[in-house]
Amino acid sequence: MISHRCKNCIWFDREHESLKNVKLISGKYVVGYCRKHKPVVYSLADLYWGGWPLVDQNDLCGEFRKQE
């Protein structure tokens, strides 16, 4: 079993206020923000906004760092 998943990473943030309205599965968050790098800029047509990358708690990353 792979343990280097976002949910076990120090950079994973599932407690942010903006995630309070995200649907929960079995009473647990399944997504969160990756805080490893700076926020990114998203665009759609002529609209631009910024934010932290939203990741699934079971995603994998090469920059994983275990929570202590």
The token pair that represents 37 in the structure block: 């790098």
| Spans of the chain, pLDDT less than 50 | none
Alpha carbon distances (Å) from 68 to 8, 9, 10, 32, 52: 9, 9, 8, 18, 22
User: For residue range 30-44, what is the model confidence (pLDDT) as tens digits?
Assistant: 889 999 988 989 888
pTM of the model: 0.73
Tell me the CB-side half-sphere exposure of residue 27, using CA atoms within 13 A.
0
